[in-house]
Amino acid sequence: MMSTALPAPLSFAQLVGLDTARQALLLLAVNPLLSGVIVAARAGSGKSTLARAFAALLPDSTPFVELPLNVTEDRLLGGVDLEATLVAGRPILQPGLLARAHAGVLYVDNLNLLERATAAHVAEALSAGWVRVEREGLSTIYPAQFMLVGTYDPDEGDVPPGLLDRVGLIVPLAARTEAALRAEVVRRNLRPPQDEGETELLRGMIHAARERLRQVQIAEDQIAALMQAALALGVEGNRADLFAVHAALASAALEGRDAVDEDDLRLALRLVLIPRATQRPADSLPAAQPSPRSASNALDRDEGETSSKEPETPRELLLEAAQALLPPDLLELPFAAHQRGRRGSRGATLNMRRGRFVRAVPGDPRSGHVALLPTLTAAAPWQRLRRGSESSARVHIRRNDLRLKRYRDKAGTLYIFAVDASGSMAINRMREAKGAAIRLLQDAYVHRDQVALIAFRGQGAQVLLPPSQSVERAKRELDVLPTGGGTPLASALLTAWQLARQARERGVAHVALVLMTDGRANIGVRAVPSDRQQLREEIQQLAARLRADGVSAVVVDTQANYLSRNEGQQLAQWLGGRYVYLPNARAEHIARALGKSLAM
């Protein structure tokens, strides 16, 4: 019978199912010029345990700093040390978490959930190697050369591209584990095997590889092959080229070689270039031109003599490997997804009432919440002067010492989903449009946005769901939405415009219209059939109103190409919005494309 006692944490070598991530971390330990490792994996895969176990492989003096998601700017960059300031009677600065990670590792779990400003500070420190702190009239610079180790679940959103670009090694989302592997994970967690010096062995390998790294050579044609593979995959920027070379050198050093070979190039391709791919290489490779020498040798051979096949060049090997390593859907890769727009990106606003506390600012206490620690910090340098000959230990606080809490809150957005339920739309993928709308509604709910639902069919448009955060109610309305009849597109635009105006009056900062239609309008605003010219003028005028009021729009056209007269494209142009043509896509494809268009 297995014991029910809590087992000790698994070591770096004992964790199961994260071989690629483990390999990337070993390369980083050998060559810190790779800057960091970002691991994408679903919840419960052990990615966080692996990242923390990585600290045991580094020298004992190496800092390992964990960055919490709710970190304030003062704690991140540095600020005033209250205790030291009270003792000294003058402001004393202390380093933040970025500076404390200098010459070590900065670890961030749920990297994709970092506040945008925090992610920008981390990315800047990775590039510059230092952080500047300016507080209470003082200014200083702290060194901050660290390796970033980040883990995240792609189902919860993407990592900011600025961070992805500055980290050398990226481990994309792995396939789901097989049953045998899952069983092994359970066995090791219930009864972990003894380490038997595996950690010390790995530390010794890393130390030897670091010493050998200076002697490892890489050929010019191998460097050229990596650069050509990067171009073929649509990898942008020279930073990735350098990371690929550093990864190949580190791989060779770790394997005990003095020269880079094909396996090292493939590993660099897998961990550096493939995750940055934004396109597929050409299916056919241009034929290599024979050199004059090889041509003359061929002529000298006897007519019956056969020649052996020429070995593949590094370029050909890498492009063949790239074709095999690329996933069926490029959107699964981080940079391809970002190229098509950020998923789940939302703006943020600063206010004095709600959200996440980010900094303290001077102000009137009647206009916000007093930040106690920053207030004491501002008052501390003046205590000796204010006490004078007074012997009491009480703190003297003046009005100009008061600091108020400044919060960052997500900017409110109203998404108006207008779904064409007419007879022509029913023919053209009504079921998929409903499924896509529900998926987008769920995404809006996650980001605390409001959603409204309009259906238009027959003689006019109807608001099925006023601005709300109730996804379940919207889903119920969509499930029972009848179809058939005419296409009162003008009425839908008028209703959307009215909802947008009402939302602005309530203080909603941004309104977006998602219009799912085939664009074949035939009913006017007055709920009667109208001639084509009159409909065109009505739709143009209403689209102009929406555009003038700053309503961003996306038109998704699911109409078959052979039936289309470019009505959807024309409508998107009048609205000043984006046009998405997806006649044959499933609901999840429509939702993905729309989500990225809305975020751009």
Give the DSSP per-residue string, 171-209: EPPPPPPPHHHHHHHHHHHHSPPP-TTHHHHHHHHHHHH
The encoded tokens of residue 284 equal 């056919």
The encoded tokens of residue 149 equal 């180790």
CA 237, chain centre distance (Å)? 18
Q: The dihedral of CA 318, 319, 320, 322: what is its sign?
A: positive
Segment (H or E) for 230: helix 220-232
CA distance 440 to 433: 11
**Residue 555's beta-bridge partner residues?**
515, 579
Residue 439 annotated in active site: no
Distance from the first to the final alpha carbon of the chain: 56
b/e 347-371 (16+ beta carbons within 10 angstroms → b): ebeeeeeebeebbbeebeeeebeeb
The encoded tokens of residue 435 equal 């499924």
Residue of 59, 40, 127, 134 lying closest to 96 (CA atoms) = 134
Residue with tokens 């060559």: 31
Q: Which residue among 42, 100, 132, 239 is the active-site one?
A: 239
Which parts of 460-551 fold into alpha helices (H)? 471-479, 489-505, 532-548
The encoded tokens of residue 240 equal 């990735």
The encoded tokens of residue 330 equal 């490029």
CA distance 600 to 598: 6
CA distance 110 to 108: 6
Instruction: Please report, as a single letter, which amino acid is at residue 97.
Output: L
b/e 504-526 (16+ beta carbons within 10 angstroms → b): beeebebbbbbbbbbbbbbbbbe
Asked if 491 contacts 523 with a C-beta cutoff of 8 angstroms, the reply is: yes
Instruction: Please report, as a single letter, which amino acid is at residue 22.
Output: R
CA 357, chain centre distance (Å)? 23
Cα 469 to Cα 414, 466, 478, 495, distances in angstroms: 10, 10, 15, 19
CA distance 23 to 164: 18
Instruction: Please report, as a single letter, which amino acid is at residue 45.
Output: S
CA distance 213 to 190: 39
CA distance 472 to 479: 10
Asked if 50 contacts 21 with a C-beta cutoff of 8 angstroms, the reply is: yes
Which pairs with CB-CB distance under 8 Å and at least 24 residues apart come from 140-145?
Answer: 140/78, 140/93, 142/78, 142/95, 142/96, 142/98, 142/99, 142/102, 143/99, 143/102, 144/98, 144/99, 144/101, 144/102, 145/102, 145/103
Residue of 533, 117, 570, 591 lying closest to 356 (CA atoms) = 117
CA distance 18 to 184: 13
**Residue 462's beta-bridge partner residues?**
455
Residues with catalytic roles: 239
